[in-house]
Amino acid sequence: MSHPAAAPITPVLNSRLPAVGTTVFSRMSALAVQAQAVNLGQGFPDFACERSLIQAVNEAMQADFNQYPMMSGAPVLRQAIVAKIASLYGHQYDVEREITVTAGATQALTTTILCCVHPGDEVIVIEPTYDSYVPAITLSGGVPVLVQMETGASGYSVPWAKVAAAVTPRTRLIIINTPHNPTGSVLRASDLQALADIVRGTDILLLSDEVYEHMVYDGARHESVCRYAELAARAFVVSSFGKTYHVTGWKVGYVAAPASLMAEFRKVHQYNVFTVNTPMQHGIAAYMADPRPYLELPAFYQRKRDLFRAGLQGSRFELLPADGTYFQCVRYDRISQQTEAEFAEWLTTEIKVAAIPVSAFYQQGKESGIVRFCFAKQDETLTLALERLQKI
The answer to whether the beta carbons of residues 37 and 349 sit under 8 Å apart is: yes
| Per-residue model confidence as pLDDT tens digits over 185-218 | 999 999 999 999 999 999 999 999 999 999 999 9
State the average pLDDT over residues 93-113.
Answer: 98
Question: Under CATH, what is the fold of the domain 51-289?
Answer: Aspartate Aminotransferase; domain 2 (3.40.640)
In 3D space, the residue among 362, 360, 368, 391 whose CA is nearest the CA of residue 42 turns out to be: 360
pTM here is 0.96
Specify the pLDDT at position 365: 85
**Contact partners, residue 365, CB within 8 Å, separation at least 6:** 359
Percent of the chain at pLDDT exceeding 90: 93
| Per-residue model confidence as pLDDT tens digits over 349-382 | 999 999 999 999 999 989 999 999 999 999 999 9
Inform me whether the pLDDT recorded for 239 exceeds 80: yes
pLDDT-derived band at 1 (thresholds 50, 70, 90) equals low
**Contact partners, residue 280, CB within 8 Å, separation at least 6:** 57, 60, 250, 252
Does 3.30.420.40 match the CATH number of domain 24-43+295-389? no
Specify the pLDDT at position 70: 97
Please state, as a whole number, how many other Cβ atoms lie within 10 Å of the Cβ of residue 313.
9
**8-17, 219-228, 281-290: least confidently modelled range:** 8-17
- Tell me whether domains 24-43+295-389 and 51-289 share a fold: no
**100-104, 153-157, 211-215, 248-252: least confidently modelled range:** 153-157
CA atoms within 13 A on the CB side of 47: 14
Mean pLDDT of the chain, nearest integer:
96
Inform me whether the pLDDT recorded for 234 exceeds 70: yes
Instruction: Provide the residue ranges of all domains of the chain, joining segments of one domain with +.
Output: 24-43+295-389, 51-289
How far is Cα 343 from Cα 338, in angstroms, rounded to an integer?
6
Inform me whether the pLDDT recorded for 2 exceeds 80: no
Specify the pLDDT at position 225: 98
In 3D space, the residue among 368, 382, 297, 271 whose CA is nearest the CA of residue 329 turns out to be: 368
